[in-house]
Amino acid sequence: MSVGILGKKVGMTQIFDTSGVVIPVTIIKAGPCMITQVKSENDHKYNAIQVGFGETNPKHLNKPLLGHLNKIDAPPLKYLKEFKVKDCTLYKTGDVLTVEAFQVGQFLNISGDSIGKGFSGYQKRHNFARGPMSHGSKNHRQPGSIGPGTTPGRVYPGKRMAGHLGNNKVTIKNLEIIHINNNDHLLIVKGSVPGKPGSLLVIRA
């Protein structure tokens, strides 16, 4: 797992390249993220760094988490995320990770929670075909048979049916960086990323 940073989706827009071609882009406010803990092979059996993002009101955090952050004089951070590293000696507690670690033209893997769509039918949820629409058919959007009768006399677990759609962890790979704004900590990437504006994103190079 490569070291990354946390960010929030600002929204989508479009820009024009030098030849006048429209490029759909997503604007992400990425970082700054503070390294709140460094875990080593000797102490924790694996090498990793813990990254914090999103300063919040202390009353929104519990006492153990506040104590963990107060030990390194860190502000009250809302989100904490671990990234495994090969060599933990390259990092130290209190360092700040920003968008300056990325370059224009670099490709990113961005993870987040997709937009929840509530309870959906089996056609929308699983892309099933509909039934016939004419000749007296009354099976337009019904699921139809869901399993054999006497044997096994039950429905197998995992049967694809209507239910909760969306709100899953989704990773979009190989999103190209179009522009970087170091002053406002903004990443502009080509294409779309999971979630709605304001949702948390995990950005890995």
Q: What percent of the chain has pLDDT over 90?
A: 81
pLDDT, position 87 = 87
pLDDT, position 83 = 93
31: nearest Cα among 83, 96, 128:
96
C-alpha–C-alpha distance, residues 75 and 69, integer Å: 7
C-alpha–C-alpha distance, residues 124 and 79, integer Å: 33
> Are 48 and 83 within 8 A, CB to CB?
yes
CATH homologous superfamily of 4-114+170-204 equals: Translation factors (2.40.30.10)
Residues of the chain with pLDDT under 50: 1
User: Domain boundaries in the chain?
Assistant: 4-114+170-204
pLDDT, position 2 = 65
**Long-range interactions of 12-15: CB distance < 8 A, separation 24+:** 12/192, 15/178, 15/179, 15/188
pLDDT, position 1 = 44
